[in-house]
Structure 1
Amino acid sequence: MSLLLLSFLLFIPILLLLRRERSSSRRVPPGSLGIPIIGQSLGLLRAMRANSAEKWVQERISKYGPISKLSLFGKPTVLVYGQAANKFVFSGGGNAIANQQTQSIKMILGDRNLLELSGEDHSRVRGALVSFLKPESLKRYVGKMDEEVRRHLEMHWQGKQQVKVLPLTKALTFNIICSLLFGLESGKQRDQFLDFFQAMIEGMWSIPINVPFTRYNRSLRASARIQTILKGIVHKKRIELQQNAASARQDLISCLLGMVDEDGKQLMTEKEIFDNIKLVMVAGHDTSSVLITFIIRLLANKPAIYAAVLQEQEEIAKSKPEGEALTWEDLSKMKYTWTVAMETLRMFPPVFGGFRKATVDIEYEGYVIPKGWQIFWVTAMTHMDSSIFPEPSKFEPQRFENQASVPPYCFVPFGGGTRICPGYEFARLETLVAIHYLVTRFSWKLCSDNFFSRDPMPVPSQGLLVQISPRTLS
């Protein structure tokens, strides 16, 4: 009898634990974590490459609702959807949500980049980057950007009958980054840098299994080579600043090296400079190149919109002496062109989505997001919501004539709230300068179909092959 009683008493804690686990599991969002490590990663990546990723996400939303669990890139994840979800993610959930990207992005870019930092570290590093990327600072670089765009068009577009737009816009934005952000002029080192950079970004959304011949492995090795190059550049610029042979405002690296706190201590560590330079490279290269490419694609398909953009840009060109560079004031006149860019970003956002991490158990929409889980949000889901943007499949730049009329946390190609991308203004400048010279110097028509896949950025088939011809001001 005593043995039976003892067995019963020992079994009670087990029963209570099982009941607590069942109760907790019912409160975790619906869905499945799938196969360990792999989860739903391969399904999402296949859908992205087939240009059906939004459909893949929408099917999950239809099946499970606006919040569901899955496993992506080796970690348990909660997918959240809608305006309230975007606000929840970008406002930080009262410090319950921390910045965190996938393991692959973290390992390739480094764990001290802005996307991985939270709290005081995030504010400190973001403040350092914003001091260079804010409009007041960028005004002085418009002429340099203008010079890079004109040189690029003369080398790669002029005299050609056909071009592949995406590879060329990637080369253009990379050259702008090298020149303005790193002070790295054209030559062998810049070309080598580009090869390593392209290899690095290929594996940023990949399953983090580090074995030879995988995308992840190739990206890690390319990232290490880039870091070696950056160490040399940073060392050289540090010496130049110490010898007063360079200005702290001549490029981003010099700017970051020259920043000190009230005690005279350098504001950012050397590792933070390396990791955030790689982040800025990716953000400034991919977002703008994809945006410029899709504007060109759109203008080829929308003659009326092309005509309106051309008229605005020709008026600016005619108001200037021939050969004179664009100015900040010229860019401020390109209002219609920027609404076209914004509508392009709404329909074809370069960034598919992003990740955060729950720092504590979070109560959200009647469920618990467990501590340590990833939170995944998808850019296009609110962009293509007909309750937010009527007739979302229709291209209408006038939606953005008054940006205040767009509901907050619904248009999020650059994030939202205090988490908006600090490079937003930089992307705007290089996009407008590039489009100005493209539409005033060339006309084009598509030679390829309109299909594109995501890898993870949108990639048009054949790199968007177009037939081009020179044009003069009408």
Structure 2
Amino acid sequence: MSPSMYFTIFLLLFPILLLLIMRRRKLSNKLPPGSLGIPFIGQSLDLLRAMRTNTAEKWLEERARKYGPISKLTLFGTPTVFVRGKAANKFVFNNDGEVLGNNQPKSIARIMGSRNILELNGEDHRRVRGALLTFLKPEVLKKYVGKMDKEVRNHLKVHWQGKTKITIMPLMKTLTFDIMCSLLFGLESGDKKRETFVKYFMEMIEGMWTIPVNLPFTRFNRSIRASTKAQSLVMGLIREKREALLKQQASPSDDLILSLLCITGEDNKPALSDKEIVDNVMIVMLAGFDTSSVLLTFLVRLLINDPFVYAAVLREHEEIAEGKKSGEELTWEDLSKMKYTWRVANETLRMTPPVFGGFRKALKDLEFEGYLIPKGWQVFWVANMTHMDETIFPNPSKFDPSRFDQQTPVPPFCYVAFGGGPRVCPGYEFARLEVLVSVHYMVTMYNWKFCLNDNSFIRDPMPLQNQGLPILIEPKKSF
């Protein structure tokens, strides 16, 4: 090609190149303030360090003071926009799933599976959510109060009876794990699969909030390997239960896996693939096990710190116990009387939400508060940005269950322990059932008191109580 031809092509392309440069500069100017930091790593290590020293809220507040309620950074390998406040929560939770979709850090998606409800959008999300609610809705959960009652009483008999000192956090993890194994998997007490699964599960969740570098000896690598083993175990249970259904040796109401196996679509074919059943059973297990054990641990902690609230909770449960015969199980109607206890639980979740925050993904270029969020970027929200906002919750550091009285409803999108909008946690009622039954027997059968002066905690990423919260216990009555 002659030099004149090159020059002619340059003259033709120059306006296009100029427009692209100007557009890129214009888009760059519309991005939120802040720095993306080192590629891939960004501010991930800073956030994780702040969480492990329990200063993450302070770190984010300082960021908000510097950049405002919306800023850009890089977290866990992905460019991210951090949003803060009531309007941000509404933006995150009230979208239609076509603009801002479900998304978790790459580390969580890799460990928990790509077909879990936290990763799905649109019709897939609605289909899987509907399937889970066939088991998790109140009218179905009523059948399982007695089963959960037995698990809690058996736990107290095995792990509390005859002891004067116990460590609450690991015991609450044992309790919630046993409950989940029974109701989700149909694995009853004494089944060796329980012990195998808990080992894999604990290793699996350790690497969920990490930089997703899959190298030997990293937390992420250990979690990946544990996840593969745990998923294999669940897949084996699916095969066993499908065979039991064919032989009419099991019922859809026996546990969550059986319930999901029996759901069919309009074409009379299974509504969920085996992969979707595995991934979603795992995510429900995570929610019911880890978040509920944290709630129960910190509820005990806060009750011991507040004798007035503890006395009110105890009075509510003693009134229920007085109307029961010895050994009689709790009923759904009994749980409906535990209104004050559930307010206490909600206040505990407000002050110490088990889930620090979460992520969404921009499915296309979009704007928020005048700033551009490019397609493919993460949106990061944090519960305590509204939970501890004194303009929403006056004197936010005070433990005050009356905040959740029905007479004074909390403004929408300010209390987000269970999410909000159309994506509110489908396991809300299950968590309520799990906590209320557990608290009933713990407060009516035992007195508690601290045996450590230091009751501090960190996040990794869930709250971890110092030394697991050891307490002294004294039985009130025999089993």
Partners of 1:49 and 1:24 in 2: CA distance: 36
Are residues 1:462 and 2:457 paired? Answer: no
- In the alignment, is the contact (CA less than 8 A) between 2:82 and 2:380 conserved in 1? yes
Letter in 2 for 1:392: P
SS of alignment partner, residue 377 of structure 1 = strand
2:208 aligns to what?
Answer: 204
Write out aligned runs for 1:152-301 (5 A): 152-186=155-189, 187-301=191-305
Letter in 2 for 1:221: R
Are residues 1:109 and 2:150 paired? Answer: no
Letter in 2 for 1:371: K
Give the aligned length: 473
Partners of 1:320 and 1:16 in 2: CA distance: 77
Deviates more, 1:19-28 or 1:106-115: 19-28
Letter in 2 for 1:218: R
Write out aligned runs for 1:333-348 (5 A): 333-348=337-352
2:22 aligns to what?
Answer: 19
The 1:419/1:227 distance shift into structure 2, 3 A limit, reads: same
1:118 aligns to what?
Answer: 121
Letter in 2 for 1:298: L
Write out aligned runs for 1:429-444 (5 A): 429-444=433-448
SS of alignment partner, residue 115 of structure 1 = coil
Task: Select which of 13, 27, 48 maps to 2:51.
Answer: 48
Write out aligned runs for 1:410-429 (5 A): 410-429=414-433
Partners of 1:429 and 1:289 in 2: CA distance: 13
The 1:13/1:450 distance shift into structure 2, 3 A limit, reads: same
The 1:218/1:131 distance shift into structure 2, 3 A limit, reads: same
State the Cα distance separating 1:2 from its structure 2 match. Answer: 7.8
Once the two structures are superposed, residues 168-202 of structure 1 have per-residue CA deviations (whole angstroms, 9 ceiling, x without a partner) of 00010000000011101123211111011000010
SS of alignment partner, residue 408 of structure 1 = coil
State the Cα distance separating 1:398 from its structure 2 match. Answer: 0.6
Partners of 2:417 and 2:6 in 1: CA distance: 64
Letter in 2 for 1:459: L
State the Cα distance separating 1:16 from its structure 2 match. Answer: 3.5
State the Cα distance separating 1:8 from its structure 2 match. Answer: 7.0
1:142 aligns to what?
Answer: 145
State the Cα distance separating 1:18 from its structure 2 match. Answer: 2.7
Unaligned ranges ≥5, structure 2: none
State the Cα distance separating 1:3 from its structure 2 match. Answer: 10
Once the two structures are superposed, residues 66-105 of structure 1 have per-residue CA deviations (whole angstroms, 9 ceiling, x without a partner) of 1110000000000111111111111125620111111011
Write out aligned runs for 1:275-424 (5 A): 275-402=279-406, 405-424=409-428
The 1:215/1:19 distance shift into structure 2, 3 A limit, reads: same
Deviates more, 1:166-175 or 1:186-195: 186-195
Once the two structures are superposed, residues 3-41 of structure 1 have per-residue CA deviations (whole angstroms, 9 ceiling, x without a partner) of 998677765544433322221111011111111111100
State the Cα distance separating 1:450 from its structure 2 match. Answer: 1.9
Task: Select which of 128, 132, 135 maps to 1:129.
Answer: 132
State the Cα distance separating 1:401 from its structure 2 match. Answer: 1.2
- In the alignment, is the contact (CA less than 8 A) between 2:131 and 2:260 conserved in 1? yes
The 1:404/1:278 distance shift into structure 2, 3 A limit, reads: farther
Identity of aligned residues (%): 62
- In the alignment, is the contact (CA less than 8 A) between 2:356 and 2:382 conserved in 1? yes
Partners of 1:403 and 1:199 in 2: CA distance: 44
Once the two structures are superposed, residues 290-322 of structure 1 have per-residue CA deviations (whole angstroms, 9 ceiling, x without a partner) of 000001000111011111111111111111001
1:30 aligns to what?
Answer: 33
Once the two structures are superposed, residues 440-472 of structure 1 have per-residue CA deviations (whole angstroms, 9 ceiling, x without a partner) of 111111123121001111111001111111124
What is the root-mean-square deviation of aligned Cα atoms in Å?
1.7
State the Cα distance separating 1:242 from its structure 2 match. Answer: 1.1
What is the TM-score normalised by the length of structure 2? Answer: 0.96
What is the TM-score normalised by the length of structure 1? Answer: 0.97
1:450 aligns to what?
Answer: 455
Letter in 1 for 2:103: Q
Unaligned ranges ≥5, structure 1: none
- In the alignment, is the contact (CA less than 8 A) between 2:97 and 2:122 conserved in 1? no
Letter in 2 for 1:267: A
Letter in 2 for 1:317: A
SS of alignment partner, residue 206 of structure 1 = coil
Partners of 2:374 and 2:260 in 1: CA distance: 37
Partners of 2:45 and 2:451 in 1: CA distance: 32
The 1:272/1:404 distance shift into structure 2, 3 A limit, reads: farther
Partners of 1:185 and 1:4 in 2: CA distance: 77
SS of alignment partner, residue 320 of structure 2 = helix
1:74 aligns to what?
Answer: 77
SS of alignment partner, residue 101 of structure 2 = strand
Partners of 1:196 and 1:4 in 2: CA distance: 63
Partners of 1:262 and 1:9 in 2: CA distance: 56
